[in-house]
Amino acid sequence: MVHKYGYIDRDGNFAMEPIFDFTNSFRNGIASCDFEGKSRFITVKGDTVLQTNYSFVGDFYCGRALFTNGSKFGYMDLEGNVVIPTIYDHAYNFSEGYASITAPNGKIGIIDIEGNLIIDPIYDTAMHFENGIATVSNEEGKYGCINIDGDFVIEPIYDSHIFFSEGLAAVNVRSKHGYIDMQGNLKIPLQYKYTNGFNGGLAPVLVGSKYGFINKTGSIVIDPVFDDVGKFISGDLSAAKLSKKWGYINRSGEFIIEPKFKNVSHFTEDRAFVIENEYQVVIKTSGEFIDTKYSLIQAESFNEGLSAVQAEVRK
């Protein structure tokens, strides 16, 4: 057996046979993949739109893709032209026209899509811009958020990364978790052992040793009775774990798909993957299984109608 990568559609059919050395999810109609030692970009029909000689090329964000030439990182455009040379020890994807890069001093700064340094490399951690702000950390290991001028809009007082979703971010101070808004106002008190981001108006929280869900007012809407939970990424189902098995609950906390799986993914485009007999299996929101041509070793969430999968193929 060999393990190769390809793409399946929502009905389990292989839109592209598993012939690739590696594949990524589709974004804006194209995806990066590795074939015969080279990186290339393909359309949902499998047509090659760009081929490179680089060992690694990432996905396109803001018209720029990360690539490596040796040990350094740079960026190319949609035609494969190098627009920012490979001069960085590490670099991150663009978001809202800006990207974090690691400078020779080991610190992180921010560049624009032309490679101009917008914010000096003075931070120990920096994330992508979202809604005009980005998370950074200082020398004390505290996290806050800056705007594109480098001014703090949320002071660095938190103990972990700050990710906003649906206007709120989960924050942590001395192992107490709550939520702030984009102005840094504490909207839900620091009272939980663990929190995660909001999706569909609900967020998972850990109360004692059990997980439940709260709404944006901080009210518990699904009682904390589960051993672990996922998120309501799309639709009305979230993964939930009970007695060492995973299933799916609705927004009332009722199991719609009984907990019987070793592991599961979240639903996207009305499809999810579950572990069945050590392989990944596609299921519908009804819990119905979808057959695939090959046994799946791993799979990415569906995006633009396709899932990048690793399959077990006989030579």
Q: Kindly list the distances between the CA atom of residue 172 and the CA atoms of 7, 125, 192, 211, in Å, as whole numbers in the listed order.
A: 39, 16, 9, 17
**What's the whole-number mean pLDDT along residues 46-72?**
89
The residue ranking higher by pLDDT, 34 or 214, is 214
Pairing between strand 238-242 and 228-229? antiparallel
Give the single-character DSSP code of 24.
Answer: -
The residue ranking higher by pLDDT, 9 or 37, is 9
Following DSSP, what letter does each residue of 94-153 receive, concatenated? Answer: -BTTEEEEE-TTS-EEEEETT--EEEEEEESEE---BTTBEEEE-TTS-EEEE-TTS-EE
Pairing between strand 295-299 and 306-313? antiparallel
pLDDT in tens, 121-144: 999 988 889 889 999 998 899 999
pLDDT band at 38 (very low <50, low <70, confident <90, very high): confident
Per the CB < 8 A criterion, the answer to whether 282 and 271 are in contact is yes
CB count in 10 Å sphere of residue 41 = 21
**Predicted pLDDT of residue 54:** 85
Among 61-70, 175-184, 202-211, 216-225, which stretch is predicted with the lowest mean pLDDT?
61-70
Per the CB < 8 A criterion, the answer to whether 133 and 154 are in contact is yes
State the Cα–Cα distance between residues 75 and 73, nearest whole angstrom: 7
**Predicted pLDDT of residue 185:** 97
**Predicted pLDDT of residue 15:** 96
Q: What region, left, alpha or beta, does residue 304 occupy, with left being phi > 0 and alpha being psi -120 to 50 degrees?
A: left
pLDDT band at 111 (very low <50, low <70, confident <90, very high): very high
**What's the whole-number mean pLDDT along residues 113-127?**
93
pLDDT exceeds cutoff 70 at 112: yes
Provide the β-strand partners of residue 74: 67
pLDDT exceeds cutoff 70 at 315: no
- One-letter amino acid at 170 equals A
pLDDT exceeds cutoff 70 at 192: yes
Phi, then psi, of 236 in degrees rounded to 5: -115, 20
pLDDT in tens, 64-92: 999 998 889 999 998 999 999 999 999 99
**What's the whole-number mean pLDDT along residues 4-12?**
97
**Predicted pLDDT of residue 69:** 82
